[in-house]
């Protein structure tokens, strides 16, 4: 398959799940079990598509690194057991580790809480030429913090700033911040891995029953599951308010891990391809230098 075909295929996987418009988005329109035209019998063909996507990604990343102009920030949000970790592991499996970084944002530390909520994430935005991954992010500020008001209290904000408009303000600020990053050459793609409540239950049970997966289970996961509907409302509102052409959300069906990985891989390939990356052109002086070095190596050098 040539590059053009790979890109075309990437578009067909990513586009159905891309949200760029703040109006009209409804979570119920995306089925967590969706696999487009692929039935489970076609899984091997789909996995081949993933392998091709990973290969394309590795080539694009090499140019991103060499060109050293753009940075890429991939943000992952999801309910527990939706497959964030596995998706990151698989999709990034072909890239050069020197050109990428992963940061996980868990419950904030005392130092984090003493700052504005973007502070800890801002420090981890990737530098030019690199791909940065946020495993959870400042979006938790409109999710877990919205579902559990006690987290907001821990932030010790001046009380007059904590009004009923606080979520609207957070969305405005996040949109502005992402626009700022986009204007500075940071390409942002956001992924909500949309798992169903039923599939989450199946995966939790698997974690409880399989000794090799026990470590993945946390009692807190069950507590959060009880707030499922609140989380879905918060996710929907968050996507409606922060999906923009510069920083789109991809609402990725997550009941089938193999499909999730293909869609995320395709979205990243698509994002990098849109940058028209190329290796830096070497100047005339540099070419002379290279040719002189070659002569030294091939010619008079004493061995």
> What residue ranges bind Mg ion (CB under 5 A)?
80
CB of 135 vs Mg ion, minimal distance in Å: 10
Which window, 55-63, 136-144, 274-282, 291-299, contacts ligand ATP (CB under 6 A)? 136-144
Say whether residue 142 binds ligand ATP (CB under 6 A).
Answer: no
Q: Give the contact letters, 210-229, x = binds to ligand ATP (CB under 6 A), - = no.
A: --------x-----------
Interface pick for ligand ATP out of 144, 182, 232, 275 (rule CB under 6 A): 144
CB of 232 vs ligand ATP, minimal distance in Å: 15
Which window, 38-46, 105-113, 121-129, 270-278, contacts ligand ATP (CB under 6 A)? 105-113
Say whether residue 151 binds ligand ATP (CB under 6 A).
Answer: yes
Residue placing its CB nearer to Mg ion in the complex, 108 or 129: 108
* Phi and psi at residue 12, to the nearest 5°: -70, -25
CB of 51 vs ligand ATP, minimal distance in Å: 25
Closest-CA residue to 236 (of 43, 13, 27): 27
CB of 108 vs Mg ion, minimal distance in Å: 15
Residue placing its CB nearer to ligand ATP in the complex, 195 or 271: 195
Pick one of ligand ATP, Mg ion, none as the site partner of residue 141 (Cβ within 5 to 8 A by kind): ligand ATP
Rounded distance, CA 295 to CA 301, Å? Answer: 9
Check if the beta carbon of residue 91 is closer than 8 Å to that of residue 57.
yes
Kind and range of the H or E run holding 132: strand 131-135
Check if the beta carbon of residue 137 is closer than 8 Å to that of residue 207.
no
Rounded distance, CA 254 to CA 35, Å? Answer: 9
Query: What does the buried/exposed string (b/e) look like for 58-79 if buried means 16 or more CB atoms within 10 Å of the residue's CB?
Result: ebbbebbbebeebbbbbbbbbb
Rounded distance, CA 150 to CA 216, Å? Answer: 26
Say whether residue 157 binds ligand ATP (CB under 6 A).
Answer: no
> How many residues sit in the footprint of ligand ATP (CB under 6 A)?
13
Interface pick for ligand ATP out of 19, 73, 140, 207 (rule CB under 6 A): 140
Say whether residue 85 binds ligand ATP (CB under 6 A).
Answer: yes
Say whether residue 32 binds ligand ATP (CB under 6 A).
Answer: no
Residue placing its CB nearer to Mg ion in the complex, 54 or 82: 82
Say whether residue 195 binds ligand ATP (CB under 6 A).
Answer: no
Q: CA distances (Å), 212 to each of 69, 81, 206, 280, in order? A: 42, 15, 10, 46
Owner of token pair 């579902």: 147
Long-range CB contacts for residues 102-110, cutoff 8 Å, separation at least 24: 102/132, 102/133, 102/135, 103/132, 103/133, 103/134, 103/135, 104/135, 104/136, 105/134, 105/135, 105/136, 105/137, 105/138, 105/140, 106/136
Interface pick for ligand ATP out of 53, 108, 129, 132 (rule CB under 6 A): 108
- Name the residues that contact ligand ATP, by CB under 6 A: 80, 85, 105-108, 136, 140-141, 144-145, 151, 218
């Amino acid at each position: 398959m040539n590059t053009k075909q790979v890109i075309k295929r990437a578009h067909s996987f990513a586009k159905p799940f891309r949200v760029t418009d703040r109006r009209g988005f409804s979570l119920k329109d995306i089925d967590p079990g969706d696999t487009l035209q692929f039935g489970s019998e076609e899984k091997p063909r789909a996995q081949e598509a993933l392998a091709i996507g990973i290969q394309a990604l590795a080539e694009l990343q090499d140019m991103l690194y060499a060109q050293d102009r753009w940075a890429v920030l991939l943000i992952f949000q999801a309910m527990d057991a939706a497959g964030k970790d596995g998706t990151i592991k698989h999709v990034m499996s072909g890239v050069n580790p020197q050109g990428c970084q992963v940061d996980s944002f868990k419950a904030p530390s005392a130092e984090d809480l003493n700052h504005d909520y973007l502070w800890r994430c801002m420090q981890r935005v990737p530098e030019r030429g690199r791909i940065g991954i946020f495993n959870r992010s400042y979006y938790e500020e409109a999710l877990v913090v919205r579902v559990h008001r006690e987290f907001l209290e821990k932030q010790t904000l001046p009380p007059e700033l904590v009004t009923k408009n606080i979520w609207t303000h957070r969305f405005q600020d996040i949109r502005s911040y992402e626009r700022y990053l986009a204007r500075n050459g940071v390409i942002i793609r956001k992924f909500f891995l949309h798992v169903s409540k039923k599939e989450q239950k199946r995966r939790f049970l698997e974690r409880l029953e399989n000794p090799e997966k026990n470590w993945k289970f946390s009692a807190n996961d069950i507590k959060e599951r009880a707030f499922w509907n609140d989380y879905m409302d918060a996710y929907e509102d968050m996507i409606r308010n922060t999906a923009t052409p510069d920083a789109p959300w991809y609402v990725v069906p997550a009941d089938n891990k193999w499909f999730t990985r293909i869609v995320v891989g395709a979205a990243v390939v698509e994002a990098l391809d849109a940058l028209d990356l190329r290796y830096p052109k070497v100047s005339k002086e540099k070419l002379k230098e290279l040719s002189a070095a070659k002569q030294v190596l091939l010619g008079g050098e004493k061995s």
